[in-house]
Structure 1
Amino acid sequence: MPTASMTATNLYLSDLAPNTTQSEIRAMTVACAAVDGINLAQGVCDTDPPHPVVEAAIAAIRSGHNIYTRLDGIAPLRAAIAQKFATFNGITVDPDREVLVTSGATGALQAALLALLNPGDECLVLEPFYGYHVSTLRSQRVVPVIVPLDAPDWILDLDRLDAAITPRTRAIILNSPSNPSGKVFSQPELELLANFAIKHDLFVFTDEMYEYFIYDGARHRSIAALPGMAERTITISGFSKTFSVTGWRLGYLAADARWLPAIGYFHDLTYVCAPSPLQHGAAAGLLALPTAFYEALAVEYQTKRDELCAALTHAGLTPSIPTGAYYILADATRIPGVDAKQKARKLLADTGIAAVAGSAFFGNNADGTNRGENLLRFCFAKKSAELEEACHRLDAYGL
């Protein structure tokens, strides 16, 4: 009789699986919970959602909106998203042919990549990068090509971008405002990127999730609004951060009508549709909340940014001041540890504050070193009392 080991030769992990590890963001969240610490690692955004959003979702559940929607989302939400794109982003889209409501921005990116790129294609990724962007590319056998930006202001080097182009380059991922650096790309930088994409005939996947979190008089701009870019840009955003509903997993994208049916197919294949009653909540938010809501959001978070930056400075963890999003990269040189992961865990042990190793947002150099090993990322999307306690602990850590 053949033994189990002889007959199980087809039972093994995929080629991808052995090289995958839990993200440092989630790992630090687990470690933080184990010591009942303050989680400044994951961008959970635990502030209260706007009242109209919550009440409309509850009303939708009670009214029976608990079944599948169209794969591209309910009509009122798609119409509200199209209006928002027109007034805020300067992008004209057809709500029936060019808007897709998705299961989070991660679902939007996954479906768009499946629809538009092939295994072996290359996609340029600006560094520091959001790790889920790179991991999603790799999960689809698309090759991420890392292009570093120059610290401390994360300046774009067009020559470096040109040098990264190969015959297999098909796309570039843009994230503005950026997680983790908080960089907001300026109009001249976006024009350079647009001309670059047109010159090399590239798709642009742009993650604009933090578009309302803008500070110091900066302004969010969408690259799809530039001449010649609408046809090649997939603009991704969502409600997780703006409405403080990260657990709802509700995002959206805009794409040219040529691409949307294929993107919608792959989103339907994986998710069927975004959660029905929550779509009604998001639609109510877009329709009911005034411009003052979004302006107040930026003011509130700039105050929180300044509070945390001051505490980090006092603790000897010099921050890079972000212009957007709600994360801070800080210099962790003074914390003992051979690498950023050890430094993050040492800080958690000493203060009960969880941060993320900077190495999670950088690729390795040819010699195996990583530009993020002396950096930690802190999130300030917290309720005021908890953020104040975190700052108090950092102040004490600096003594």
Structure 2
Amino acid sequence: MQPLSRKCDLFTDSVIRRMTRISLDCGAINLAQGFPDFDPPKAMLDRLAEVAYQGPHQYPITMGAPNFRAALARKCGRFMGRTLNPDTEMVVTIGSTEAMVDTLFALTNPGDKVVMFSPYFENYRAQAIFADCEPVFVPLTPPAFNFDANVLEDAFKQGAKAIIICNPSNPSGKVFTEAELKQIAELCIKYDVYAIMDEVYEHIVYEGHKHTYMNSIPGMWERTVSCSSLSKTYSITGWRLGYAIAPKEIMDKIKQYHDFNAVGAASPLMEAAIVGLDMPDSYYEEFGAHYAHMKKLFTEGLDRIGIPYTDPQGAYFVLADIGPFMKPGQSDVEFCEQMARKVGVAAVPGTSFFKENVNNIVRLHFAKVDETLNEALERLSKIREKMG
């Protein structure tokens, strides 16, 4: 038999999704894979019930159903502060993951360098490998996860074609300030680099911080692709409705890859999701307050237990230091697998996110109802005795 793809030897399966499988196997509370255990907005569920009988149930237009794109343009345009053309400047994808992959293929050629900050969402490195690109990592320094502008410029000087930025960041919870984005924008313009933005947590930002869209920075609309999804904003991670927004010249290329990669997103789910996109501003205010409550409950619990962590500025993750609870020579992967089985709480080992040699950090998420978080904290309170 001829050898299989060599690319698959350059990365493993998703450790995040692997931890979900371990959770299911041993009955652990899954604080590894970031999905909520509460329902989407009732209006969306009611509309989904209607669509089940009314349709549509057949192929949509490849770029996304026209009425869905129109609603998406209204919603995104409102928050981005610009008028978006739903026909030429956006495409609906199978989650933001597909949007990111299509964008990488549309912008890059084999051998191109792609800058990304570390810690990074594990998908990015694998996606760069798919596209035959070389990742160039720039460290973010905890606890605020700031970057050194000189180190970033050195990465650009290596001949970067694009930079991937998750804002707010998974896994660190960093929210890039407008000043930081302007610094990055200046480098993008100076070195002719595209910005690929993963903005799925755009509406989960905590007090004292503000989300700024990169495409709103002067000179950046022309070279920015904004990738996002409805997954987090409306608690529908399983609906897999994502999108990319970019100027027409870039979007034409993204659509080409999307057409042959996925054909189209799910027709009935797009139809049902329109009511969510038309939610008033009060929805996003209540949504943000809900996440602020969950963050407070969970982080105060970690404080009581004595588990060190970095305080997130946005998104719904904490990076916790499990060094005090590890055995000599134990890897973070081994620790997480044992913690799921012995403590009953699943986390993601930090080596999934860091380019640097980090072995004492895990990612936990708190997008859960109070009962789930309280039970998880109760289990974590016994981490010393059960992992000793």
Which category of TM-score, normalised to the shorter sequence, fits these structures? Answer: over 0.9
Distance 2:354 2:189 in 1: 27
1:345 matched to 2:337: yes
1:160-239 alignment to 2 at 5 Å? 160-166=151-157, 168-239=159-230
Tell me how far 1:34 sits from its aligned partner.
1.1
Determine if the alignment matches structure 1 residue 317 to structure 2 residue 307: yes
Match of 2:44 in 1: 53
Percent of counterpart pairs with the same letter?
37
Q: CA deviation at 1:90?
A: 2.0
Which residue number in structure 2 is paired with residue 355 of structure 1? 347
User: How far 1:116 moved relative to its partner?
Assistant: 1.2
Partner residue in 2 for 1:16:
7
Kindly indicate whether the alpha-carbon contact (under 8 Å) linking 1:314 and 1:398 is maintained by their aligned counterparts in 2.
no
Deviation of 1:128 after TM superposition, in Å, equals 0.8
* Aligned pairs (5 A) from 1:1-399: 8=1, 11-166=2-157, 168-287=159-278, 289-337=279-327, 338-364=330-356, 370-371=357-358, 373-397=359-383
Q: Distance in 2 between matches of 1:343 and 1:96?
A: 49
Q: Offset at 1:284? A: 1.5
1:17-63 per-residue CA deviation (whole Å, 9 max, x = no partner) reads 22331111111111111111100000122220111212223322311
> Which amino acid letter does the alignment assign opposite residue 336 of structure 1?
M
> Superposition RMSD on alpha carbons, in Å?
1.4
Tell me by how many angstroms 1:262 deviates.
1.4
Inter-partner Cα distance in structure 1 for 2:118 and 2:75: 29
Q: Matched residue pairs, number?
A: 383
SS class of match (1:95)? coil
Contact kept, 8 Å, 2:194 with 2:224, in 1: the verdict is yes
- Following superposition, the deviation at residue 231 of structure 1 comes to 0.8
Quote how far apart the aligned CAs of 1:217 are.
3.3
Residues 316 and 334 in structure 1, CA contact (< 8 A), matched pair in contact too? no
Q: Secondary structure at the match of 1:100?
A: strand
Unaligned runs of 5+ in 2: none
State the Cα distance separating 1:347 from its structure 2 match: 2.2
Deviation at 1:138, TM superposition (A): 1.0
Q: Shift of residue 396 of structure 1?
A: 3.8
- The answer to whether the 8 A contact 1:335-1:346 is kept is no
Shift in Å at residue 312 of structure 1? 2.0
Q: Which runs of 5+ in 1 are unaligned?
A: 1-7, 365-369
Query: Contact between 1:120 and 1:168, CA under 8 Å: does it hold in 2?
Result: no
Mapped contact 2:325–2:383 kept (Cα < 8 A): no
TM-score, normalised relative to structure 2: 0.95
Q: Is the contact made by 2:157 and 2:191 (CA closer than 8 Å) also made in structure 1? A: no
Q: Which runs of 4+ in 1 moved over 4 A?
A: none
2: CA distance, partners of 1:264 / 1:248: 20
Contact 2:28 2:341 in 1 (8 A): no
Q: Which whole-Å CA distance do the structure 2 matches of 1:92 and 1:225 have between them?
A: 12
